[in-house]
Amino acid sequence: MSRPEERPRLADVFPEIAAEIVRLLRKDDASLAETVHELRYYGHCLCRPGCQAVLTAPAGSAGTAVCQLEDDGEYMIWLSLDPAGNTITDVEAWGDPPWSQSTDQ
Ligand SMILES: [Zn+2]
């Protein structure tokens, strides 16, 4: 496995989503919002066929906490957090997330 700093940043791969997460997260968890620009992109979640999540931590890092971000925009975003609740481990979006075009349906 390559080291985390060799991974692309989520903010570089999906700038729109990263910006949207920061914008929505600032309303309820500003300290978590601060971490978004440092998140790395670990590829699509392969937990089940058609899963719309992308990983921002190695697979299996997620705890049970989920942070739901909702907006009147075109998509809704769910963030999974690690067991300590201070790291976003994956990002799942419904609606028309920018990465939906690249998944096999
Ligand atoms: Zn998944």
DSSP-assigned letter for residue 50: T
Distance 66 CA to ligand 1 centre (A): 13
pLDDT 10s digits, 21-69? 999 999 888 999 999 999 999 999 988 888 889 999 999 999 999 999 9
Residue 83 near residue 93, CB atoms below 8 Å = no
pTM of this prediction?
Answer: 0.83
Distance 94 CA to ligand 1 centre (A): 12
| C-alpha torsion 85→89→94→99, nearest 10 | 160
Of 14, 40, 25, 17, give the one whose Cα is nearest residue 95: 17
Residue 79 near residue 67, CB atoms below 8 Å = yes
